[in-house]
Structure 1
Amino acid sequence: MFTSPVLLLRCVIIFFNWLAIYVIYYGIGLNVGNLSGNVYLNFIISSLVELFAYTTLLFVMDKTGRKKIYLVSMLLGGIACLATIFPLIYGTEAHTWVTITLSVVGRFGVSSAFGIIYVFSAELFPTVIRQSGMGSGCIFGGLGGMIAPYISDLGILLGGHHASVLPLVVFGGITVFAGLTSLGLPETQNRKLPETIEDALQFGRTENDKKEHGLLESKSYSDGCARPSCEIDDGGKAGCGTEQHTSLL
């Protein structure tokens, strides 16, 4: 997968999104204790929202495709987390419910993306390295899970009312950036999945790209270059050699 710049970039995007989604998923869950209100009620609401997100995916993912719903989910979760800064700056203590609501919306988006990344990644990796690719993604996800608690505790540095907002802003920024990088990945819905490295290289290319790729390969057989030619000998056996053509000036 690292032999081609296209596949290398695709792997970097996939692995970064694994890391980011684990940071955000576990980070928002750990940040529930930093939100205002009853921590038990906030946890129950967050869990119900996650269940609703997974249920929604069952009916939406096969209709909209993996790439679109993943991008929308990441942007929804990231923007909701970033928007928590507004009730902090312009609101009062009576508006703490706005912060909690935005956090729940962020949880919905992140939970949806968390469910999609498993399916999307598995369909992007070719069959010959699918297990290795998914395993590598889980390794990067584990690193993200290790980083999440430290980001969740960033609010301790500030303290006070800002403690519940700073982690969400960091999570939101990571989510939006990771979601935008997914634009570099091809859609996999209703397409034949790649089986070999060569299939993965061609996967996601448009017909025009494939035609241009074919034209580039055909240039090696243009006038002035060696072309394969087959001749039949006296024994009736076909033998192939190379035939040199020179262009006339």
Structure 2
Amino acid sequence: MNRKQQALASLCLMAVISFYLVVGLPKPAYAMHIMEGFLPVQWAIFWWVVALPFFLLGLRSLTRITQANPQLKLLLGLAGAFTFVLSALKIPSVTGSCSHPTGTGLGAVLFGPLTMSVLGSLVLLFQALLLAHGGLTTLGANAFSMAIAGPFAAYWIYNFTIKLGGKAKIAIFLAAAISDLLTYIITSIQLALAFPAPVGGFIASFTKFAGIFALTQVPLAISEGLLTVLVWNWLQSYNPQELELLKLIKREPQGNESV
């Protein structure tokens, strides 16, 4: 099996997993995405207005990438599938709610945060329509936290770590883990702004919302970071030409490494 066949097989596997999540698990989903109709109208409109420019700029970035390098389309599909599968996994929390990984760090490192603003938003749209994760009125808020803030954090953290002389695998781990955590921090901020506490206002409300997910999201972020490193290792083995094209693999030190 050659390199492209290996990549195609992986995409097919992710498609099968996604189908199972949609059809095989029909139970209601109570993931961290803000549910349909939960935000007041003014806040729902506000986050749509904030997120829309990033999405439009992301479309331009995505168009440039596919026109200049059509061979990267398969890798783009892999990044989108990775985000869909990870963010669709509902993991119960000891606090009585649920958490999930985000999967946006990998695509942000590969293609930049603007591209992931499109891929992440499309993932959220399909999850809202097919899995009842999130909603359409709250899509702007969910997109800002998971498809915009998280990927920008991942991109900056990766490049900052590389500039400091850190190994690429460590940079990938930090980018994926911290972008996961930041997504939940931003969501907690969004909820606290919309629903300030009668006593303590925004700060008290933020503390409450952030605390709901803190116990499960930290180990989830670490797990996502490790999984993203494994996928990165796979890409280095079977997609080196694409990584060279993206000017990422040349930063890798020589020799075998392990995390």
Structures share a fold, TM > 0.5? Answer: no
Larger relative contact order (CA 8 Å, sep ≥ 6)? 1
Query: How high is the TM-score relative to the length of structure 2?
Result: 0.27
Query: How high is the TM-score relative to the length of structure 1?
Result: 0.28
| Structure number with larger C-alpha Rg | 1
